[in-house]
Structure 1
Amino acid sequence: MIQLTPAEESYLKAIYHISDGGKRSVSTNDISFQMKTKPASVSDMLRRLGEKEVIEYRKYYGVNITEEGKKLALQTIRKHRLWEVFLVEKLRFSWDEVHEVADELEHIKSKLLIQRLDEYLGFPKFDPHGDPIPDEYGDVRSRPRLTLSELDINATGQLVAVKDSSAAFLRYLDKVGAYIGARIKVLDKVEFDGSVEILVDNKKTIFMSKDVAGNVLVMV
């Protein structure tokens, strides 16, 4: 069985995300930007991951994640998202506080612990940001979603996820009163700048910029 160090797991998870689940190749610069490190360090890590056959890397052609690499990346993602649920639901962290803590916890190796954690949480399907949690076999439950900016006037739906899970963005949503699970209705869209006016839970009116609306995902 392939054994990865925590750093290798982090890189593999990043490659999985950047490549949209392995649908496209990614460049060294893409990975460098995502990992906030120098290209030279990335090249060294890619060599190590290539030796373990979890990626394929050809200079000038980019990086592709292998099927085995996808399986390992999905297990790391599964642990990360389960820990986020635990931190929010059981330890009362807010959703903007959990990402960095989960980054550390995701490298715990015990399969039994993760199985028990999943059971303890009631087998959640989505994390606090609305992202699907892979099951123990790496299967991911998806659901059709649109960005808020794609909805027409008078369209209704439920806010189910965010594309931007940065702490600053999540704190902004908290401030304006938008949250996962909220029922929304589009009241108006401004042609000039793409901003939208929405009604939340039939109670509160919120104005969102084009950038914000493009990072909020809705199920209609």
Structure 2
Amino acid sequence: MTTILTFLTLLSCSSTKKLINKDIIGKYQWKGIYGVGSSIELKKDKTFEYNWQTGLVWGTTFGTWKREGKKIILNSELQPSPSGIEDYEIIKTETNSSDSITIKILNPENEPLPFADCVLKSDTSIVTGTSTNLQGEARFSLTKADSLIIMFVGYKTIRHKLDHEVTRYVFKLEEVNEFYEYFTNDTWTYKKDRLYDPSIKKGRYIKKEYYEKMK
């Protein structure tokens, strides 16, 4: 009788063991079909590294994680820009008595960006347009325009409302993270050495909807 009670007590303890962060730290992998797959490593410093591949395209995302019970909440280092927030930086503005507006465009490394398309608009109509030179500069004669559009492949488009007292702008463009995987409070679930990403659903070609912990 004592032996049975002891066994039942141990069984009860093991089944109600409290999950701790140490239990889930490690690398997990999911494999789809035809070169599709991903992995995620949850590190003990509360950061993660997520790697994905779809055929010949792949990428890496770094971020932080936290645990709430069996829920794992992920946030990437980069976040998509909220609606209405401009995706560029104004480095410098100047005001003088010039009869023209000068635009200088820099890339994220603070280098001049030549051949960027610059357009002045009034309301919805295009007033005039040009491209930046090898020094990343464009010049417009003073004209009735209320906004400036700057476009370059691989960078986020600038849409800036003009200040008519400013005659020189220096802008820094941001690159388009076309293949970046964002995580914004994404919630996965941990169960018995598996991580469940709710975006992965079992189907005809997807046999496993979970990431398995790599030994």
Please report the TM-score for the alignment, with normalisation by the length of structure 1. Answer: 0.20
> Larger Rg: 1 or 2?
2
Larger relative contact order, structure 1 or 2 (CA cutoff 8 Å, min sep 6):
2
Structure with the largest fraction of helix: 1
Please report the TM-score for the alignment, with normalisation by the length of structure 2. Answer: 0.20
